[in-house]
């Protein structure tokens, strides 16, 4: 079998286009743009790139982008004050504090200060709780993006065996919850799981969110499995090259011999994350305006 390549990049582009169209209708209906505020503390190079990309994508989707940059020695009070101002600002529908924060700032207490109704990253404990009891809230962007790719590919997931590898609060746990809500039979595997290969081999759906390059080979996969690779890992550079290649947690070429469908890295899950962030922001804007969010978001 040669697996179908799940084109997350194309799916994300279509989602961004729908968000852009609905955002234009939102502006017509409410006489204001939906708005996303992104807060960056410090000079972390990767974070600067992410924040820049989020700002550009927000503008391209007909929404307002508010960027706030604080110095790396910003105090917790200064950051809390800013978050409070954004909570109270009616032109801001979504607030995202770019992680990681400098060591002297406590991420959990900063996230807790964001209004849960503007927490478009879905990291607030209220939103984790809402997800766990099945109430409408905000779901973290990466797992929600994975779920969109899975349902687009497989339709009804009822009764399928799903194995999520990784149990982080931002990927593994919410991913497992979403699969459970879709009536899959879910196993969460992690660093202490015994005989991980045997566990993964049971799965109709494998979601890998570990951060170990090409850990999952073809021997770990059941024939016809659908594989979602969340991992983003950089291999050491080849001689003469400055940067190593980006790979996922799955050995893509060999896994493609066994799987029915698989996301590549790059071009799979990665592009979904920003697209879902825009989607969550527009959903927040509708809720904040007392409107029903469009069904195809
Ligand atoms: P994390 O480090 O918080 O969690 C990793 C998880 O993997 C842990 O729960 C741990 O138990 C598990 N693990 C570690 N070693 C293992 C092993 N040998 N066997 C089985 N399980 C093991 O990471 P995270 O934030 O959940 O991210 C996971 C990966 O996904 C990283 O590569 C990250 O870069 C990537 N990621 C990608 C996106 C995206 O937009 N595509 C978003 C978030 C994270």
> Per-residue confidence at 1, pLDDT binned at 50, 70, 90?
confident
Residue 212 Cα to ligand 1 midpoint, Å, equals 8
Read off the pLDDT of each residue in 193-221 and give the average, rounded to a whole number.
98
Q: How many residues does the chain have?
A: 297
Q: Is 296 a catalytic residue?
A: no
Encode pLDDT of 228-259 as tens digits: 999 999 999 999 999 999 999 999 999 999 99
Q: Are strands 161-165 and 185-189 parallel, antiparallel or unpaired?
A: parallel
Residue 186 Cα to ligand 1 midpoint, Å, equals 17
The residue behind tokens 């969010």 is 293
Encode pLDDT of 136-156 as tens digits: 999 999 999 999 999 999 999
- List the residue whose alpha carbon is closest to atom 15 of ligand 1: 191
Pocket of ligand 1 (CB under 6 A): 142, 165-168, 170-172, 189-191, 193, 196, 209-212, 230-233, 269-270, 273
- Rounded CA-CA distance 101/107 in Å is 7
Work out which ligand 1 atom sits closest to the CA atom of 272. 40
The pLDDT of residue 26 is above 90: yes
Residues 208 and 172 sit within 8 Å (Cβ to Cβ): no
What's residue 57's pLDDT? 98
DSSP H or E run through 95 = strand 94-97
Work out which ligand 1 atom sits closest to the CA atom of 193. 20
Tokens of 261: 């469908």
Read off the pLDDT of each residue in 261-279 and give the average, rounded to a whole number.
98
The pLDDT of residue 121 is above 80: yes
CATH ID of 31-116, from 3.30.530.20, 3.30.1330.60, 3.40.50.10860, 3.40.630.30: 3.40.50.10860
Record: fold of 141-271: Rossmann fold (3.40.50)
Domains of the chain by residue range: 31-116, 141-271
What's residue 109's pLDDT? 97
- Rounded CA-CA distance 76/66 in Å is 20
Q: Is 48 a catalytic residue?
A: no
57, 147, 148, 210: which to mutate for ligand 1, most atoms within 8 A of CB? 210
Per cent of the chain over pLDDT 90 is 100
Tokens of 174: 């919410």
47, 100, 107, 171: which to mutate for ligand 1, most atoms within 8 A of CB? 171
The mean pLDDT of the chain is: 97
DSSP string, 181-218: HTT-EEEEE-TT-TTHHHHHHT-SEEEE-S--TT-B-G
179: buried, middle or exposed (CB in 10 Å: 19+, 13-18, 0-12)? Answer: buried
Residue 30 Cα to ligand 1 midpoint, Å, equals 40
Read off the pLDDT of each residue in 209-226 and give the average, rounded to a whole number.
98
Query: Whole-prediction pTM value?
Result: 0.97
Going 283 to 289 to 293 to 297, the CA torsion angle's sign is negative
211, 263, 276: which to mutate for ligand 1, most atoms within 8 A of CB? 211
What's residue 76's pLDDT? 98
> Per-residue confidence at 285, pLDDT binned at 50, 70, 90?
very high
Residue 153 Cα to ligand 1 midpoint, Å, equals 23
Work out which ligand 1 atom sits closest to the CA atom of 167. 9
Two domains, one topology: 31-116 and 141-271: yes
Q: Is the bond preceding 100 in cis, omega lying within 30 degrees of 0?
A: yes
Encode pLDDT of 29-86 as tens digits: 999 999 999 999 999 999 999 999 999 999 999 999 999 999 999 999 999 999 999 9
Work out which ligand 1 atom sits closest to the CA atom of 145. 40
> Per-residue confidence at 11, pLDDT binned at 50, 70, 90?
very high
């Amino acid at each position: 079998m040669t697996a179908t390549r799940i084109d997350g990049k194309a799916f994300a582009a279509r989602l961004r286009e729908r968000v852009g169209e609905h955002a234009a209708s939102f502006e017509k209906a409410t006489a204001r743009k939906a708005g996303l505020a992104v807060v960056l503390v410090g000079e972390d190079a990767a974070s600067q790139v992410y924040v820049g990309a989020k700002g550009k994508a927000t503008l391209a989707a007909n929404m307002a982008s508010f960027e706030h940059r604080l110095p790396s020695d910003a105090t917790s009070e200064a950051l809390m004050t800013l978050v409070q101002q954004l909570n109270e600002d009616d032109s801001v529908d979504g607030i995202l504090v770019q992680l990681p924060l400098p060591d002297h700032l406590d991420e959990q207490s900063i996230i807790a200060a964001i209004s849960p109704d503007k927490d478009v990253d879905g990291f607030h404990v209220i939103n984790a709780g809402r997800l766990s009891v099945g109430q409408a809230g905000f779901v973290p962007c990466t797992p929600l993006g994975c779920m969109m790719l899975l349902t687009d590919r497989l339709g009804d997931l009822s009764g399928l065996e799903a194995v999520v590898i990784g149990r982080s609060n931002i990927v593994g746990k919410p991913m497992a919850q979403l699969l459970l809500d879709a009536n899959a039979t879910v196993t969460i595997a992690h660093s202490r799981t015994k005989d991980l290969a045997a566990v993964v081999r049971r799965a109709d759906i494998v979601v890998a969110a570990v951060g170990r390059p090409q850990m999952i080979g073809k021997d770990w996969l059941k024939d016809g499995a659908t594989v979602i690779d969340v991992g983003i890992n950089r291999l050491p550079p080849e001689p003469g090259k400055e940067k190593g290649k980006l790979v996922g947690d799955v050995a893509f070429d060999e896994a493609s011999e066994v799987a029915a469908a698989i996301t590549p890295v790059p071009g799979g899950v990665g592009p979904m994350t920003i697209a879902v962030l825009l989607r969550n922001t527009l959903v927040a804007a509708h809720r904040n305006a007392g409107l029903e969010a469009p069904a195809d978001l």
